[in-house]
Amino acid sequence: MQKEFPQMIQIRWHGRGGQGAITAAKVVAEAAFKSGYTGVVMAPTFGTERRGAPVSTSLKISRAKIYDLSPITTPDIVVVLDHLIINEVDVTAGLKPGGLLVINSPRPVQEHQLPGYRVAVANVTKLGIEAGLRKGIVNSGIIGALSKASGLLDIDMLTRCIADEFAARKPEDNARSAQLAYDATQISEPNKGDAHA
């Protein structure tokens, strides 16, 4: 079912240097573009990143051309490629009330609930290994969790774009990793989160 979306969807991605958050955002940008969105802007925030340090990138998706390239300050969706980043970075900074937080975590969704937000969790690290990927390859899998939780883009389009992006690096395993994460994603709605807060 196609949902009603606001004029522009803003997705902020948090990962670690070397984890491939920018590549993941790029794949989703490509899928959005191929799905008919005219306005797609994926703008990485470049700092003095090194392997392992927290990094972030902005993805804006709209039916109309996007003119403002400044970084996202009030995201609709935040994607976190490593749940431990939550201890280091204020990942929900500016997240709109009722907004969606997608996390790669070995813990169940109940342990990540946040008042006022939708939270989606999948153990993308584990599912990636099941899909045949090297341990720690999570940037393809997290896309599946985002797709399931947001309903923003069709999972078949996303897995096709993943296979294209990873054409020389296990395209099928990467696509399968996203499909497995899609199937396994657990979602906690905001009111439920409030009750447990």
Partner 1 sequence: MSKKLIDSGNAAAAMAVQLAAAEVIAAYPITPQTPLTEKLSELIAAGEMDAEYVAVESEHSALAVCIGAASAGVRPFTATSSNGLLYMSEQLHWAAGGRLPMVMCVVNRGIGAPWSVWNDHQDAISQRDTGWIQIFAKDHQEIVDMTLKAFRLAELVHIPVMVNYDGYYLSHTYMPFELPEAAEVRAFLPDYDYKHTLSPEHPESLNTVTLPDARNDINGVKQGSYMDIRHNLHQEMCLAMDVWEEIDADFQQRFGRGGAPILDPYCCDDAEFVVVAMGSIANQFRDVVDRLRQDDGLKIGVLALQMYRPFPIARIAEALQSFKGVMVCEKGLSYGNQGALYADLKSALYPYPARPRLHNFITGLGGREIRTDDLYLALKTACLQDDLTTPVQNDTPQWIGLQL
Binding residues (CB under 8 A) for partner 1: these are: 26, 29-30, 33, 38, 40-44, 46, 66-71, 73
Instruction: Kindly state the smallest distance separating residue 100's Cβ from partner 1, in Å.
Output: 22
Secondary structure (3-state) at 182: helix
Count of alpha carbons within 13 angstroms of residue 83, beta-carbon side: 18
**Nearer to partner 1 among residue 68 and residue 90 (C-beta):** 68
Secondary structure (3-state) at 17: coil
The answer to whether the CB of 58 falls within 8 A of the CB of 45 is yes
Beta bridge mates, 39 = 62
**Nearer to partner 1 among residue 19 and residue 123 (C-beta):** 19
**Nearer to partner 1 among residue 51 and residue 135 (C-beta):** 51
The answer to whether the CB of 122 falls within 8 A of the CB of 185 is yes
**Nearer to partner 1 among residue 3 and residue 46 (C-beta):** 46
Instruction: Kindly state the smallest distance separating residue 48's Cβ from partner 1, in Å.
Output: 9
Q: Quick count: other Cβ atoms within 10 Å of Cβ 123?
A: 24
Instruction: Kindly state the smallest distance separating residue 69's Cβ from partner 1, in Å.
Output: 5
Q: Which residue has the tokens 């720690």?
A: 136
